[in-house]
Structure formats: structure tokens, C-alpha cells
Amino acid sequence: MTPTYVLDGREIGTLEDFWRVIGEAVNGPGGYFGRNLDAFADCLSGGFGTPDDDAYVVEWRDHRISRRNLGHLETARQLEIRLSRCHPANRPSTRADLEAARQERGSTVFDWLVEIFDDRAPGVLRLR
């Protein structure tokens, strides 16, 4: 039987909440499954609690709630954090992304996560 990891979208209000929810879904209470986008992408590739062969499913229930919560407002918050830490060479593009998010344009945190699922573990994510 294929392992299924369930995410409760009602518990995901921020990107930090997503890290907690997916970590616990895959690896139990206090579990880790990435705490930044790069680490998350690596974890999706296997070996961090999931089978190495993508023979698993992540079922994101009530994903519409998460989509709203991880929308442009949360994206702007995350980009502000990124701007405070990024290399000076990356600041102009991060500022441009931040301005777009503040104007409710461009991709959102939810979009980033779904794209990583699609890139690193195609077919694993099921939005419910």
C-alpha cells in the first residue's frame, strides 16, 4: 500500500506552519521535512522519511484555505524576511518580487510549494 501523508490545510496559516505540518505528517510530532524551500525540495526527493522512489502521496486537504493563507500577504512577509538576509546581488530582484506581492501580483508562497512538489516529486501531491 502506498504511504499517504495528510496535510490539514486548516492548520497552515504561514510558511512556518507548513514546515511544521508537513514535518509532522511525514515524520511524526516535531518531525523535520525541510524548513526552507531548498531543504524542502531535497526532502521531497526521498530519504527524509519518504520512500526514495516517489511511491508515496501527499494529500493536502482543505488546500483552498492554505492557498488563501499562503497568498500575497504571506508572500510579501516571506520576501521581507528574504530581503533582510539575501546577498546584495539578489536584493534588486527580491525587492521587485516584494513590490509585486504587495500589489497582489506574481506567484505566492502556495505557488512556490506546489511548483516544488511538481518539480521534485511529480504526481505525489493531491490537492483536496
Residues 61 and 47 in one domain: yes
**77 is in which domain, residue-wise?**
72-107
Q: How is residue 67 written as a grid cell?
A: 492557498
pLDDT tens per residue, range 66-101: 999 999 999 999 999 999 999 999 999 999 999 999
Q: How far is the C-alpha of 42 from the C-alpha of 119, rounded, in Å? A: 11
pLDDT tens per residue, range 12-67: 999 999 999 999 999 999 999 999 999 999 998 877 888 776 689 999 999 999 99
Residues 31 and 11 in one domain: yes
Residues 77 and 114 in one domain: no
Residues 63 and 119 in one domain: yes
Specify the pTM.
Answer: 0.94
Q: In what order do the strands lie in the sheet with 4-8?
A: 4-8, 57-61, 125-127
Domain total in the chain: 2
Which amino acid appears at position 40 of this protein?
F
Q: How far is the C-alpha of 114 from the C-alpha of 52, rounded, in Å? A: 19
Residues 119 and 99 in one domain: no
Residues 83 and 67 in one domain: no
